[in-house]
Amino acid sequence: MTLPVFPVNVGIEEVGDFDLLHRTEHFPSSLTSAERIRGDLTPRWTVALRLGAMTESEWRRWSAFVVGLAGASGLMYYTPTHAARPQFGLPGGLPGGTPVVAGAGQLGRSLITTGWPAGQTVLHAGDFFCFDNLSGIRELKLLTADASSDGAGAATLAFAPPIRRAPADGAAIVIDGPSCAMRAIDDKQGALTITRNRKIGRASFHLIESFVGAAS
């Protein structure tokens, strides 16, 4: 799915409330105090951004981007700006290789992959990656455990949230700038506050992941 990309040339002053939003349902019994819990199978990433000290050229580009989205109906690809690259080796380092999905039909909270450098820790808990599933929807995942490759360059990744729809065998695993489709939570997001002399602009933007186009 082709979407605009959240602009990286704006001054993000603060990344707040970056979280995986769950909708858990509780069904307590008034007689026995027993409780039935139903977990959310489609949690969504959410983030609140504060943009500050934008120059006039920056806030003009920002305004054009926001207006072009047409409110909460507009989708974009957003990369977690606070964790756009994995923790491999030195800060900002990448493990190398060309990782891909190894095997069709994989679901759940783990994924068998291959194409990594052999015999090393390739990703760490807290790293992000993404892939496009068979519906063309991009899924963003957070590693919940370190992942190490074997002698053939294969590694099993453990993560959250669970896979919504399986990726194809050979689908690319993106670790440098992983992203997902997001939209504004309402039509009021991204509005500008501009100083009297038009030199500085500020804005806030609250986003939530969108599954538009995903299989039901």
Task: Give the pLDDT mean for 16-39.
Answer: 71
Which pTM was predicted?
A: 0.84
10-24, 46-60, 65-79, 110-124: least confidently modelled range: 10-24
Task: Give the pLDDT mean for 137-154.
Answer: 96
| Domains, the chain, ordered by start | 12-79+180-209 (no CATH), 83-178 (2.40.30.290)
pLDDT band, residue 25 (cuts 50/70/90): low
The torsion defined by the Cα of 3, 72, 210 and 128, in degrees rounded to 10, comes to: 70
**pLDDT higher than threshold 90 for residue 106:** yes
Secondary structure E strands in the chain: 12-21, 25-28, 35-38, 44-54, 76-78, 100-101, 108-114, 121-123, 128-132, 138-143, 147-148, 155-163, 180-184, 192-194, 201-209
Is 21 in contact with 43 (CB distance < 8 Å)?
Answer: yes
**pLDDT higher than threshold 80 for residue 96:** yes
**pLDDT higher than threshold 70 for residue 214:** no
Distances (CA, A) of 169 to 35, 133, 137, 175: 40, 10, 15, 17
pLDDT greater at residue 6 or residue 145? 145
Task: Give the pLDDT mean for 96-120.
Answer: 96
**pLDDT higher than threshold 70 for residue 109:** yes
Q: Tell me the two tokens of residue 137.
A: 């929807």
DSSP code at position 191 = -
